[in-house]
Chain A
Amino acid sequence: DAEITQSPRHKITETGRQVTLACHQTWNHNNMFWYRQDLGHGLRLIHYSYGVHDTNKGEVSDGYSVSRSNTEDLPLTLESAASSQTSVYFCASSESGVNEQFFGPGTRLTVL
């Protein structure tokens, strides 16, 4: 069955370190999204991509970067982790022209 996976599921890191969170989907969806979930804010969009080599900034993109080298993967990189980036991160994907997004199980990141 097609699915979307995220790894790792839990990560603890230190301030200043570079961290990469993986997202892999097997639906062959063109659109992929990264969100963070924080209490009182719901899900906020970090970056998104409409296809290979396409990336766009969301509302909370500072300190994060993404790259899209193939259809299946959209890794999220924290260049220099900060305590404010402690959060739960969700990856999602959707077909072109379709509004419904399918979400991965999430990665809980703690920055000490």
Chain B
Amino acid sequence: DQQVKQNSPSLSVQEGRISILNCDYTNSMFDYFLWYKKYPAEGPTFLISISSIKDKNEDGRFTVFLNKSAKHLSLHIVPSQPGDSAVYFCAPKDGGTSYGKLTFGQGTILTVHP
């Protein structure tokens, strides 16, 4: 029973265009959502997050949108750059646990072509 689903295993985008990565979840107790970025042979690194009391959070080229009623969030990267090519994981936190235990999606491989 996967509580977090990233239904697109891969995404290919041209440099300068927008990349949109999607994440769906089923657990209504999730109250905080993080996005991680992972390069090959490295550990994941934190990218951006959003609290369930907000519907948008922006940090430079990265914006995360949250639609609680649809249990859906998305990460927008504008403009996309070749250095953004990586695996992206969404990782919600269960509000019923107070110690930051995260549930990771399967990941989406983003490739940005020059």
Interface residues of A (CB under 8 A from B): 4, 31, 33, 35, 40-45, 48, 50, 90, 92, 94, 96-106
A40–B109 alpha-carbon span in the complex (Å): 11
Interface residues of B (CB under 8 A from A): 4, 6, 32, 34, 36, 41-46, 49, 89, 91, 93, 98-107
B102-A90 in contact (CB<8A): no
Contact of A42 among B32, B93, B99, B107 (CB under 8 A): B107
Give chain A residues whose Cβ lies under 8 Å from the Cβ of B104: 35, 42-44
- Whose C-beta in chain A lies nearest to the C-beta of B89? A42
B105-A42 in contact (CB<8A): yes
B43-A99 in contact (CB<8A): no
Nearest chain B CB to A72 CB, angstrom units? 17
A33–B106 alpha-carbon span in the complex (Å): 18
- Whose C-beta in chain A lies nearest to the C-beta of B92? A99
B45-A103 in contact (CB<8A): yes
B93-A99 in contact (CB<8A): yes
- Whose C-beta in chain A lies nearest to the C-beta of B98? A97
B100-A31 in contact (CB<8A): yes
Give chain B residues whose Cβ lies under 8 Å from the Cβ of A102: 46
A44–B45 alpha-carbon span in the complex (Å): 16
A112–B100 alpha-carbon span in the complex (Å): 35
Most chain B C-beta atoms within 10 Å of own C-beta, residue among A35, A96, A101, A102: A101
A94–B102 alpha-carbon span in the complex (Å): 11
Give chain A residues whose Cβ lies under 8 Å from the Cβ of B103: 45
Give chain A residues whose Cβ lies under 8 Å from the Cβ of B42: 105-106
A90-B46 in contact (CB<8A): no
Known: A40-B106, A42-B106, A99-B32. A106 touches B101 (CB 8 A): no
B100-A94 in contact (CB<8A): yes
In addition to A99-B102, A106-B43, 7 A-B residue pairs with Cβ atoms within 8 Å of each other are A31-B99, A42-B89, A43-B89, A45-B102, A48-B101, A99-B32, A105-B42
B106-A98 in contact (CB<8A): no
A72–B86 alpha-carbon span in the complex (Å): 29
A43-B46 in contact (CB<8A): no
